[in-house]
Structure 1
Amino acid sequence: MSDLFAVTEATWPAVAVHDVGPFRVREGRGGGQRVSAATAEGDWSDADIDAVEVAQNRLGQHPLFMIRPQDTRLDAALAARGYAVKDPVNLFEAPVAALLGEIPRLSAFTIWPPLAIMRDIWAEGGIGPGRIAVMERAKGPKTTVLGRVNDRAAGSAYVAIHGKTAMLHALHIVPDQRRQGSAINMMRKSAEWAQDHGAERFSVLVVQSNNAANALYTSLKMQVVGQYHYRSYKP
């Protein structure tokens, strides 16, 4: 299994990362929870949590921590402070080769930078300029994927590579074009692009409450290889 936390960090990067004692505090500026959460990188005390809260407030961010499998003590400490569990996430992974398959002609294209129509599709799904800026910041191989069905644009996604692992983010299918194979075609096109750029593993993160996305990745024989959740606090 790849270190998907490192892959996420590289393929969906924060604007800046600030060291606050043993914690890493990410500055997201509208890029979503992944780039706005704090993580424990060493031994910590209650005073360190206080310092993180101050730092996040100064950045204009609500206190938010990512809780990984090794963070059970932090999870309990935040719960005691009144932090709520938010958005449990599944980490899926599979060999790139396992996702390859026939792609109907003119059904999916890899494009960088993204087209205006792709930005419009993302905006419809709540993926706005802050998240587009995350894609633009990423270093290394990256692309966006445009899906087509019924002779019209049907979906948009972003894929980037860290090491030998590709990770897909921001997959959104136009609501009235769903359940017509576009997401599968886009996944296969993404895997094809990833293989062409040296990746051996393919991964994606999805909130556990997104039943359709979890079903899609499971149908493609991807395996859940890890999980995490957030703890958030809003007074």
Structure 2
Amino acid sequence: MKRIIALIIVLFSIIIYSGSAQSFVKIAEIPINTTELEKTLQYVSTQLIFQSRQQTDFHYTYEINEILKPVIDTIKTKDKPRLVFVFENQLGQSVMANYSEIENLLTNLPAVLMYGKKVQKVGDSLLLGDGKDGNVDLTQLEEQFAQFGTKKRLHLQIKNISVDEKARILSDATVIFPKDLRTDRWISGVDKITIYKYSSDRVEKEVPNTGETEGVEQNNRQIKPEKPTKPERPDRPQRPQKK
């Protein structure tokens, strides 16, 4: 319900902006597929730690700005603060974020994408099988080393969460806003990110040139009003002369 109210407020704001000389221009639409992300980006092994010391296991995580970097790098620096990001899932739910919430140069807790894949622990020993032609098969060893990645503990502003909420967050691709005091904006099952740019360019009105010059100088010249003349006094009747 709270997400619906928040979305209504956002849409109402967009309508207000659209009614003036302001608008949102769509820049790009990026599909989210965690399998493809693993092929192109290095994940960060992240553990969520809440204020009550409640914590999660280490899961695969990607910073949002790294996912969107190929698009953001093509945008002028002066226009980046005008960017708005809409995260959508398969259920048609969506949330919004601004540029300062995802850029790690502007915040120490940027938004991240976390999903249910856990980072496996490496044991003390590993049994390697024989490969072809008597060579040792190093495939398992390479897979284990790939699990090391970069470890990160993300300290959140939230005190704790319920078991059901924890399961929701870690079940599928979830966008997490570490600075939020509640999980209302943490959207799960994200499959698309759309980037918009807020535009507020003023449209100047052009005055047509009619070429008429006659009377312009006279109209622009300030004409002082004439001083009112005093009305003439009527002649006084003459007094009769004394005899």
Length-normalised TM-score, structure 1? 0.23
More strand per residue: 1 or 2?
A: 1
Length-normalised TM-score, structure 2? 0.23
* Larger Rg belongs to: 2
